[in-house]
Amino acid sequence: MPEKSAAAGGGLRERKKRATRAALAEAAVRLAAEHGVEQVTVEAISAAAGVSVRTFFNYFETRDDAFVVVDSELSTRVRDAVLHAPPAVPPLDAVRDAIAAELAGAEEQHEVWELHATVLRAAPHLLVRALGAHTAEETGLALVVAERLRGGTGGVPRPVGACGEERRDLELYPRLLAAVAGTAVRVAVEHWSARPEERRFAEVFRETFTLLTAGLPAPPD
């Protein structure tokens, strides 16, 4: 994701870490799009990003993680923002605002997003991993919505993998909100990507969530 202000993006060290992770992920995706996933090595990714192999493994456990996890900390930041939004803000608005803050520079990421989608489509094993990661992120967001509904503000939730019992206890509303929000983001990105010259992504994103908030009324004739 693009750099943000110090207030929005954390301290300098954290911003540098996010920039390094993003550079590695982008290098991996560009190399895979050009040469094919199986031809890309950790050494090549590291060299393209201008860092050492040791640095690569500070951010990703395996080579494939660089293709699948474009920003593993993004979901944590979204969950934290939702959890700590003012109590008067409705859950859907809290989720919308948290995601919007992370997509503030979406136009600049358009090319990388398209390359990423192309790489995943060409590598079924990566697509499966990406779907698994998406499911985990969705569950994590649902857990935060449930915590918010209970009035909790206990900080960033535990990793999804550590909350098996909580996952089974989730009510319908948090599950549905997380799933609908994820779908809304995907649809907004796909709609804007097909016609980026018509409107800015932020406008499409806002309209998507406005329609959700209104209950998806049928458009006028």
CATH assignment, 1-70: 1.10.357.10
pLDDT digits 0-9 by tens, 29-87: 999 999 999 999 999 999 999 999 999 999 999 999 998 865 667 788 899 999 999 99
- What is the pLDDT confidence band of residue 147, given thresholds at 50, 70 and 90? very high
pTM of the predicted protein model? 0.78
Q: Do residues 48 and 27 lie in contact, with contact meaning Cβ atoms separated by under 8 Å?
A: yes
| 23-27 LR contacts (CB < 8 Å, sep 24+) | 23/49, 23/50, 23/51, 24/49, 24/51, 24/56, 24/59, 24/60, 24/66, 25/66, 25/67, 25/69, 25/70, 25/71, 26/112, 27/66
Bigger pLDDT: 212 vs 68: 212
Report d(CA 170, CA 180) in Å as an integer: 15
Distance CA 2, CA 26 (A): 12
Q: What is the pLDDT of residue 162?
A: 43
Residue ranges matching CATH 1.10.357.10 in the chain: 1-70, 73-221
The class that CATH gives domain 73-221 is mainly alpha
User: pLDDT band at residue 156, thresholds of 50, 70 and 90?
Assistant: very low
